[in-house]
Amino acid sequence: MAAGVKGIAILGSTGSIGRQALEVVRRFPERFRVVGLSARSNLALLSRQVEEFCPAVVAAEELAGDGAGARNPLASRATVLELVAHPDAELVVMAIPGAAALVPVLHALQLRKRVALASKEAVVIGGALVAREVAAGAELLPVDSEASAIWQCLRGEERDVARLILTASGGPLRSRPVEELDRVTPQEALRHPTWRMGEKVTVDSATLMNKAFEVMEAHWLFGVPWERIEVVVHPQSIVHSLVEFQDGSVKAQLAYPDMRLPLQYALFYPQRGQGQFTERLDLVRVRRLTFEPLDPARYPAFALALEAARAGGTYPAALNAADEVAVELFLGERIGFTDILRLVRRVVDEHRPGSELSLEEILAADAWARQRARELA
Ligand code: MG
């Protein structure tokens, strides 16, 4: 590969994050070369991506014999793990939604590939295992806007952090009366006011499960104890998160909300990218940045998830798996919006964690919770 060109593998290339990562790559063909792409089921889009970016390897879960891989003579069919291991893949963008990201994330970290992580569930359920690899020298770059903001504030600082303050838009249901939440439809829950994201994370933003996941992500990525991570509701999504240092000084990262910004930051790291994907921030036009406390009655999933996080072990794996099933059932109109929490709570309450935290234990808890959530639904 030519000098100065970074080889990139994108896992989950047809999802919202994967597509936006390719938008960044498309703008800087002299800086990036797509080495591998993977998708689960959107083979039509994957074929078009293969044609445009000519990756060396393609992995598709549902790829038939004459599928996307065969269309491009350069592309060979591979598994996701082979794709991660490809010698030209210096940076792996993890954009597979849900728990399925954990195994490829650990594999990439063990191979000491630089990982740009959008799949926060991998850290939610496997935080201790991921943190162990990072402590041993692996590089994990956050792509989540809040985690990226914290990372940007921390660069160049000694890690004497007093407090992390994560901002939350409050999601699509922030102004909906609490007593009406059981009538919320999937269409309403998917109408996010400020962010363009995948369906699962948008519903998680409506329950604020997503924000609890981001607290866990911040805890494991930046090594800050639970009691020093706070969340404040900020409906404009301009301040993406803040770090308070021991001297009382607070740094924040601001921009109009656009995932291509944190994606570009991770792709170009250690440099800062030059692509301007959002308008320049016009503070006079923004006029007002507002902040509110998080209302626990509106977002009971937030407290439940943090309880599971503090309990540790395989509790977060059970929580996440139950949430994945519950959100899927809600999107399929099989259960109501407030049933998501009810179902997740029952599964977490029933969960009996094993004695030691290993990948096998996590995957077993994940499988158990998925099955149990379906039985209880
Ligand atoms: Mg986020």
In the numeric block, which tokens belong to residue 1? 């590969």
| Residue 64 pLDDT > 60 | no
347 Cα: distance to centroid of ligand 1 (angstroms) = 25
What are the backbone angles phi and psi of residue 193, rounded to the nearest 5°?
Answer: -70, -30
Confidence of residue 229 (pLDDT cuts 50, 70, 90): very high
| Residue 239 pLDDT > 90 | yes
What are the backbone angles phi and psi of residue 269, rounded to the nearest 5°?
Answer: -45, 135
* H or E, element range at 142: strand 140-142
DSSP annotation string for 124-138: HHHHHHHHHHHHTT-
DSSP class of 13: T
Average pLDDT over residues 276-281: 93
9 Cα: distance to centroid of ligand 1 (angstroms) = 22
163 Cα: distance to centroid of ligand 1 (angstroms) = 18
The model's pTM is 0.94
Res 356: pLDDT = 81
155 Cα: distance to centroid of ligand 1 (angstroms) = 19
Q: In this predicted structure, which of 133-137, 346-350, 354-358 has the lowest mean pLDDT?
A: 354-358
Confidence of residue 79 (pLDDT cuts 50, 70, 90): confident
Question: Which residue type is seen at 85?
Answer: A
Taking only the tens place, the pLDDT of each residue in 320-332 is 999 999 999 999 9
Res 76: pLDDT = 57
How confident is the prediction for the chain on average, in pLDDT? Answer: 93
362 Cα: distance to centroid of ligand 1 (angstroms) = 24
Largest CA distance in the chain: 61
Q: Is 311 exposed, middle or buried (0-12, 13-18, 19+ CB in 10 A)?
A: middle
| Residue 140 pLDDT > 80 | yes
66 Cα: distance to centroid of ligand 1 (angstroms) = 37
